[in-house]
Amino acid sequence: MSKITDIYGSNVFNDSIMKERLPKATYKALKKTMDKGSTLTLEVADVVASAMRDWAVEKGATHFTHWFQPLTGITAEKHDSFINPTGDGKVLLEFSGKELIKGEPDASSFPSGGIRATFEARGYTAWDCTSPAFIKDGTLCIPTAFCSYTGEALDKKTPLLRSMEALSIQAMRVLKALGNASATKVITTVGPEQEYFIIDKALYTKRKDLIYTGRTLFGAPAAKGQELEDHYFGTLKERIAAFMSEVDTELWKLGIAAKTKHNEVAPAQHEIAPIFTTTNIATDHNQLTMETIKKVALRHDLVALIHEKPFAGINGSGKHNNWSMATDDGVNLLEPGETPHDNAQFLLFLTSVIKAVDEYAELLRFSAANAGNDHRLGANEAPPAIISIFLGEQLEDILEQIEKGGATSSKTAGLLSLGVDTLPSLPKDATDRNRTSPFAFTGNKFEFRMVPSSASIAGPNFILNTIVAESLREIADRLEKAASVDTEVQAIITEIVKDHKKVIFNGNGYSDEWVEEAEKRGLPNVKSTVEATKALIADKTIEIFEKHNVLSKVELESRYEISLENYSKVLNIEALATLEIAKRQIIPAVIKFSTSLAGSVAAVNAAGVGADVSVQADLLKEVSSLTTTLKNNVVILEETLAKTAAIVDTYEQAYAYRYDVFEKMQAVRAAADTLETMVDAEFWPLPTYGELLFNI
């Protein structure tokens, strides 16, 4: 294997390549656009494009694509080759500045939530020079933003970039008011931890539910689950280790700083985490990470499941979105330092997040909602659907002191002695961890743990950035008008603590008591994606998104439609797959098994030795009666599905999918899963949970 330092970033048109290959003036102009957002001239773009082409062609690329993130949640690419015929039967390889800056994909086949009619197909992609171009499978990929002919954002990247700008503007106002003269920009940083399952490909191909929906729609629990807690951090199996090491190599080539990998809690579950970077790049990188995991798995005859809940009764997968804010001169604004109680800047930025999360809890909840995550949030292992913040002992103590009139000390943790002379004394963290909190302060960043494993992290982050930008705006407004900034800082922090401490919770977020307590505190507990979607078009959402130029009312309304439509479509596919598997695989298999039982009863009786046939006969009776239940539930599901498909109102329809169709699917599954425990394994048509989870 080649050295990491050699392969790292080898497929990225990164800063060092640009420095090396661009004329000085072009490099400077491009950097200015990247850092300060100044407009890029076509002249500069032409020079950059031709350098990009030369570099890509040297690396064996034949095509280029505008790589974008439509509202499907995955990425899109249409490949164009560099060739341009010269008329003498030969070709030149060309790539112009115009082609670099702007693309024109047909917008009509991507979700637009009613913004575009299909006959008005024009859409544009625009080069996002803040995220570097890269080569993937012989194609030069240009990260781009995607919008409609009339300029509405049709993707995940546009609002993310706008939200980063909004947060920077407001955070800079606060910093200036506090007397910071060195920072010129504030960026948001993200390090997403990605969970996923790996199963054997041969078994996967026998499960239509996994193929169509990414999760098992049937399956009785295996004898063993995760109760021995023997998988988390366990030694990597050889096949998994080989796969993971190839994933790392592929990611490193793309300049993705894959850092941590380990087995997760559930059997067959794993996690990968990169070193954090700018939110925009982290988002692109996370999309590429999911894609790479899936692609490399196949090379090893494995299949990666990125779905939030592939297996009932077993932990699901999420993404821990570690988030912070930093100045362009490298100061993490959520770094508490040694004595956080007298670090006004830290406390101000910390409380701005607390205020935002409390005031826009429903919106944040929506940002983590999708059909897959509905199986996790509020289920046994996952953060509950209630948004709360874990701060830890030290910070909670400081906020309490502030509320009582002023903070004078920071609790320290000291050293931890293990009582063995040869072992080192360990410096203790100021706070323990809390794994049950959906939004936890973890040392110098917040970890938003509700995020769905399969979703783009753009959604949660543009919402987080926007609500914090709004908090910071209010704070900046006050600081700029204040006679004494120091006094005003104290006043602001004290007020925020008083008004928003209800969202802070350091206890066990998975307990029933917390659900009750949260209700008493008036914290929202939004049950499913359907209800959560409403937050997107709430008046106060529209107000702040328009104020900070992140999304217009029209754009928000289109996303509302898309979210509900997508939810209904996912549920519809699941229901159809449930019916197909029940009718064409499970019921026929059970009938065959019943026939063999009946045959046995008849054969034993015919032997005329008076042998006892009660085992076969009883089983036959039981299986037959369950098969009737299964068949009846299939009919009910079919009827419910037909009724639901006919509902015109998008919200009502999604609601019916959740509370009618979904419940009827569960009934079909319940009967089938019981049958699975009774039917001869030879007859059962689907690989079982035991086989899927424990065969690697």
8 Å CB contact between 160 and 190: no
Structure tokens at 51: 């350098």
* Contact pick of 166, 190, 244, 526 for ligand ADP (by CB under 6 A): 190
Query: 449 vs 501, which CB is nearer to ligand ADP?
Result: 449
Buried b or exposed e, range 385-415, using 16+ CB within 10 angstroms: bbbbbbbbebbbbbbebbbeeebeebbeeee
Question: CA-to-CA distance for 244 and 696, rounded, in angstroms?
Answer: 14
Least distance in Å: CB of 465 to ligand ADP? 13
Q: 226 or 324: whose CB is closer to ligand ADP?
A: 324
Residue 451 beta carbon to ligand ADP: minimum distance, rounded to whole angstroms: 13
Strand partners, 226: none
Nearest to ligand ADP of 402, 458 (CB atom): 458
Least gap, CB of 320 to Mg ion (angstroms): 4
Between CA 262 and CA 231 the distance in angstroms is 9
Binding residues for ligand ADP restricted to 9-38, rule: CB under 6 A: none
180 binds, among ligand ADP, Mg ion, none (CB under 5 to 8 A by kind): none
Pair 257, 277: CB distance under 8 Å:
yes
Is 445 a binding residue for ligand ADP by CB under 6 A? The answer is: yes
DSSP string, 618-649: HHHHHHHHHHHHHHHHHHHHHHHHHHHHT--S
Query: Binding partner of residue 323 among ligand ADP, Mg ion, none, CB under 5 to 8 Å per kind?
Result: ligand ADP
Structure tokens that stand for 551 in this block: 């999304």
User: How far are the Cα atoms of 118, 145, 522 from residue 107, in angstroms, in the given order?
Assistant: 8, 13, 43
Binding residue (CB under 6 A) for ligand ADP from 322, 466, 568, 688 = 322
User: Could you tell me which residues come within 8 angstroms of residue 606 by beta carbon, excluding any fewer than 6 positions away?
Assistant: none
Alpha-carbon gap, residue 662 to 187, rounded angstroms: 41
The stretches of 360-415 forming alpha helices (DSSP H) are 361-367, 393-403
Which ranges constitute the DSSP H helices of 60-200?
Answer: 97-101, 157-177
Helix pair 539-547, 458-481: axis angle to 10 deg:
70
Which entry of ligand ADP, Mg ion, none binds 191, CB below 5 to 8 A by partner kind? ligand ADP
- Sole window of 188-196, 344-352, 524-532, 546-554 interacting with ligand ADP (rule: CB under 6 A): 188-196
Report the residue number, 66 or 320, with the smaller CB distance to ligand ADP. Answer: 320
The CB-of-346 to ligand ADP minimum distance in angstroms stands at 13
Instruction: Tell the smallest beta-carbon distance from residue 167 to ligand ADP (Å).
Output: 13
Q: How far is the CB of 528 from ligand ADP (least distance, A)?
A: 27
Query: Among ligand ADP, Mg ion, none, what does residue 189 contact (CB within 5–8 Å per kind)?
Result: ligand ADP
* Options 26, 33, 112, 189; binder of ligand ADP; rule CB under 6 A: 189
Of the pair 188, 644, the CB lying nearest ligand ADP is at 188
Q: Applying CB under 5 A, which residues contact Mg ion?
A: 320
Closest approach of ligand ADP to the CB of residue 281, in Å: 12
Q: Which does 327 bind (CB under 5 to 8 A by kind): ligand ADP, Mg ion, none?
A: none
Interactions with ligand ADP, residue window 332-351 (CB under 6 A): 332
Nearer to ligand ADP (CB atom), residue 191 or residue 509: 191
Tell me which amino acid residue 204 is. Answer: Y
Task: Specify the residue, 260 or 628, whose C-beta has the smaller distance to ligand ADP.
Answer: 260
Residue nearest to ligand ADP (CB): 191
Q: Considering only 37-45, 108-116, 187-195, 585-593, which stretch makes contact with ligand ADP by CB under 6 A?
A: 187-195
How many residues contact ligand ADP, by CB under 6 A? Answer: 15
Could you tell me the smallest distance in angstroms from the CB atom of residue 506 to ligand ADP? Answer: 17
Instruction: Pick the binder of ligand ADP from 62, 108, 444, 674 (CB under 6 A).
Output: 444
Structure tokens at 500: 């928003």
For Mg ion, the nearest residue by Cβ is: 320
CA dist 547 → 166, 464, 542, 553 (Å): 9, 15, 8, 11
H or E element that contains 249: helix 238-253
Specify whether the CB–CB gap between 320 and 260 falls below 8 A.
no
The tokens describing 269, both together, are 């579950």
Query: What is the C-alpha to C-alpha distance for residues 620 and 108, in angstroms, rounded to an integer?
Result: 54
The only residue of 65, 324, 578, 627 in contact with ligand ADP, by rule CB under 6 A: 324
For residue 154, count other CB atoms closer than 10 A to its CB.
28
User: By C-beta, is 273 or 467 nearer to ligand ADP?
Assistant: 273
Q: Between 320 and 341, name the residue whose CB sits nearer to Mg ion.
A: 320
* Interface with ligand ADP in residues 253-282 (CB under 6 A): 260, 273-276
Residue with tokens 């292992």, as numbered in its chain = 381
Q: Least Å distance between CB 541 and ligand ADP?
A: 25
446, 439 Cβ separation under 8 angstroms? yes
Residue 324 beta carbon to ligand ADP: minimum distance, rounded to whole angstroms: 3
Of the listed pieces 186-194, 413-421, 506-514, 580-588, which binds ligand ADP according to CB under 6 A?
186-194
Minimum separation from the CB atom of position 435 to Mg ion (A): 8
Nearer to ligand ADP, 131 or 494 (CB): 131
Does residue 12 sit in helix, strand or coil?
strand
The pair of structure tokens assigned to 316 is 């699901």
Report the residue number, 189 or 394, with the smaller CB distance to ligand ADP: 189
On the 0-12 / 13-18 / 19+ scale of CB atoms within 10 A, 6 is exposed
Rounded CA separation 475/151 (Å): 32
Q: Which does 490 bind (CB under 5 to 8 A by kind): Mg ion, ligand ADP, none?
A: none
310/318 with CB nearer Mg ion: 318
454 binds, among ligand ADP, Mg ion, none (CB under 5 to 8 A by kind): none
User: In the bound complex, what is the minimum distance in angstroms from residue 394's beta carbon to ligand ADP?
Assistant: 18
Whether the Cβ atoms of residue 403 and residue 410 lie closer than 8 Å to each other: no
What is the number of other CB atoms lying within 10 angstroms of the CB of residue 484? 9
* Helix axis angle, 279-299 to 458-481, nearest 10°: 170
Cα 329 to chain centroid distance, Å, stands at 29
DSSP codes, 579-605 = HHHIIIIIHHHHHHHHHHHHHHHHHHH
For residue 162, the 8-state DSSP code is H
Nearer to ligand ADP, 330 or 608 (CB): 330
What minimum distance in Å lies between the beta carbon of 435 and ligand ADP? Answer: 9
- Is the Cβ of residue 309 or residue 320 nearer to Mg ion in the bound state? 320
From the list Mg ion, ligand ADP, none, partner contacted by residue 390 (C-beta under 5 to 8 A by kind): none
Cβ 681 vs Cβ 303: under 8 Å: no
Nearer to Mg ion, 271 or 359 (CB): 271
- Least Å distance between CB 319 and ligand ADP? 11
Q: Give the tokens for residue 472.
A: 């910071």
* Nearer CB in complex with ligand ADP: 63/445: 445
Structure tokens at 36: 């300060």
Among 323, 439, 560, 689, binds ligand ADP (CB under 6 A): 323
Q: Of 540, 536, 532, 543, which Cα lies nearest the Cα of 557? A: 536
Least separation in angstroms between residue 541's CB and Mg ion is 28
Q: Which residues bind ligand ADP (CB under 6 A)?
A: 189-191, 193, 260, 273-276, 322-324, 332, 444-445
